[in-house]
Structure 1
Amino acid sequence: MPNSPVVPTIRRRRLGSTLKRLRNDAGLTLDEAATAVGWKAPKLSKIENAVQSVRPADVTNLLKAYGTSDPEVFTALESLARDANKKGWWQTYSGVVFLPYADYISLETDAEQIWEWSPLLVPGLLQTAAYARETIGGATTSRTPEEVTSLAEVRQARQAILSRPEGPPELWAIIHEAALHQRFAVRPTTMRDQLRRLLDVSEMPNVTVQVMALDSTVHPGLVGGFSLVHFPGPIPNVVLLENVMGATYVEDDNDTAHFTKAFERIRAAALPVEDSLALIARLEEGHRK
């Protein structure tokens, strides 16, 4: 039975937490801030805790009450309020795209930068259709073949953000070399085509690909992969952690700062970009022999 229509609640959470931080920075209590815009404190509390949506015009009034003057802050938060409950293209796949995944797609859509540390797989934004089908089908314990096909289509559709004309996000992907040696029995050319895809997409000005060599030094990425999503203006970063049971989000500023430092150390331990692409090219050539 299809799940209920997905609402991108993570947008509301990001908006609410940002408004709360700006209120605290202004030194205002809930009562004081609510009174300044003609509300009761419970209404503002619900907005800050993502229980209730808020209109862009109301966000503008709140920011003025908080003494905010940066136009980028107004633009970013008004846009977030406008899009908080907007349905995305992924609604077409609501039968297979459940809430945590829909949340992440909405994060990608809003992102300014995406940092990916992927020790086991090529990141979804860089996968070929065949690679996506094989890896989704191989990893799932409960999806039907039809659902696997739909999820592979979703993964391909997500990649449109990398080439959209209105400010595509910058993607920095670090992939462990072990992931590039994966073999596919059903379609042996899958990995060769995937390696070629990595070389092709790395030519895009907003995409950087690095490889973590098999003989690299120790680094924070040894404890697992993660995606760190950056947003414009004052909107806090979000980290995605995935496992066989689904996705977990890290949204606290202090916690996401740890992942930022970890990624910087992972990036320093990986092969330089030119050496990474040379390694991918050698592996791709090996598949042609």
Structure 2
Amino acid sequence: MPTVPLVPTVRRRRLGSALRAYRLEAGFDVLEDAAAAMGWDRSKLSRIETAKGAIKIADVPLLLAAYGITDPEQIRPLEELARDAGKKGWWQTYTDLAAPSYVDLISLEDDAQSIRTYSPQLIPGLLQTAAYAREIIAATAITRTTEEVIALTEVRMARQAVLSRPGKPLKLRAIIHEAALHQEFPTRPGLMKEQLRRLLDAGKLPTVTIQVMPLTAAAHPGQVGGFSLVDFPHPMPSMVETENLKGSSYVEGGEDTKLFSEAFEQVVAAALPVDDSTALIATLEGKAPK
């Protein structure tokens, strides 16, 4: 019976990327040398680093020890990734409907400790109401049927469970451009009032911070486009997610994610303070049609 190749899930990619980074830091520039330290051939380690092969949980600390890493705080997150690499989440039910990059995003949100996002055009998905989500999905997923739009709306609502998950709710810092708060839906005039109320309620959560980028803001890096920084428990590196009509794309690597992190801090500085942002949202909610 032929062997079914492993699907390179986003967890396997993160694990492989981290192991490769540790290998290079240890001075093993040649795969054969690192593989020999484990008694493996080159292809096995290559498959692990490229997410095309799995690594046993018990082999993770052994491989890291070969790289000179024995700190349990560094080892534990990689063991958890190895354990969960092939685990199926609730979102697997929708893999026939959702694009692979969107499935990756949901998996990242499930693993993340915090997310920092700048959204210049839309309310972020984790803060949308079902009615708002359905309108936006219908307008942007232009090849989808009505049934698929409804299903994708259900997925978006299910994603929001990370904000209230027991023990370790996701920390969300969202910078939303004021233009997105003035969105109008002519056939559903009361929709935006409900959405603005949702933002006010979410902003009361201790793990959610919302700021508004005012129309009068000075120039800032976010004017190039929106992006999200997905942060994981130390020592796992962050990832950057950007989105367009075809779905999400991801940026990995220390220098690249550092660039986006610095850009986000400049976006935060250009936005209204939290209290002023809340006041502006409340004002717009009061004026919105019912």
Q: TM (normalized to structure 1)?
A: 0.95
Counting only pairs closer than 5 Å after superposition, residues 148-227 of structure 1 correspond to structure 2 as 148-227=149-228
Q: Report the CA distance shift for 1:198/1:7 in structure 2 as closer, same or farther (over 3 A).
A: farther
Q: For residues 166 and 44 of structure 1, what CA distance do their matches in structure 2 show?
A: 35
Partner of 2:39: 38
Which is further off, 87-96 or 152-161?
A: 87-96
What one-letter code is carried by the residue in structure 2 that aligns with 1:88? G
Shift in Å, 1:71: 1.6
Shift in Å, 1:169: 1.9
8 A Cα contact 1:8 1:85, kept in partner = no
8 A Cα contact 1:18 1:234, kept in partner = no
Shift in Å, 1:86: 1.2
Partner of 2:22: 22
Partner of 1:102: 103
What one-letter code is carried by the residue in structure 1 that aligns with 2:114? Q
Partner of 1:275: 276
| Partner secondary structure for residue 168 of structure 2 | coil
Q: For residues 73 and 166 of structure 1, what CA distance do their matches in structure 2 show?
A: 22
Q: For residues 58 and 166 of structure 1, what CA distance do their matches in structure 2 show?
A: 29
Q: C-alpha deviations, 1:149-192, integer Å up to 9, x for none?
A: 00100000000001101312211000000000001122211110
Q: For residues 61 and 24 of structure 1, what CA distance do their matches in structure 2 show?
A: 16
8 A Cα contact 2:101 2:247, kept in partner = yes
Extract unaligned runs of 5+ from structure 1.
1-5
8 A Cα contact 2:61 2:70, kept in partner = no
| Partner secondary structure for residue 210 of structure 2 | strand
Q: For residues 127 and 7 of structure 2, what CA distance do their matches in structure 1 show?
A: 26
Shift in Å, 1:60: 1.8
8 A Cα contact 1:8 1:99, kept in partner = no
| Partner secondary structure for residue 58 of structure 2 | helix
What one-letter code is carried by the residue in structure 2 that aligns with 1:249? Y
8 A Cα contact 1:7 1:87, kept in partner = no
What one-letter code is carried by the residue in structure 2 that aligns with 1:167? K
Q: C-alpha deviations, 1:205-246, integer Å up to 9, x for none?
A: 111000000111010011110111111122221111111122
Q: For residues 40 and 152 of structure 2, what CA distance do their matches in structure 1 show?
A: 43
Shift in Å, 1:288: 5.4
8 A Cα contact 2:120 2:177, kept in partner = yes
Identity percentage over the alignment?
58
> CA-atom RMSD, angstroms?
1.5
Which is further off, 206-215 or 134-143?
A: 134-143
Q: How many residues align?
A: 284
Q: For residues 210 and 167 of structure 1, what CA distance do their matches in structure 2 show?
A: 22
Counting only pairs closer than 5 Å after superposition, residues 28-67 of structure 1 correspond to structure 2 as 28=28, 29-67=30-68
Partner of 2:3: none
Q: For residues 287 and 218 of structure 1, what CA distance do their matches in structure 2 show?
A: 28
Q: For residues 166 and 33 of structure 1, what CA distance do their matches in structure 2 show?
A: 38
Q: For residues 151 and 187 of structure 2, what CA distance do their matches in structure 1 show?
A: 19
Partner of 1:115: 116
Q: For residues 150 and 86 of structure 1, what CA distance do their matches in structure 2 show?
A: 22
8 A Cα contact 2:125 2:156, kept in partner = yes
2:247 corresponds to 1:258: no
8 A Cα contact 2:137 2:153, kept in partner = yes
Which is further off, 49-58 or 273-282?
A: 49-58
What one-letter code is carried by the residue in structure 2 that aligns with 1:14? R
Q: C-alpha deviations, 1:59-100, integer Å up to 9, x for none?
A: 121112222122222111011111111111011112211211
Extract unaligned runs of 5+ from structure 2.
1-5
Shift in Å, 1:30: 2.2
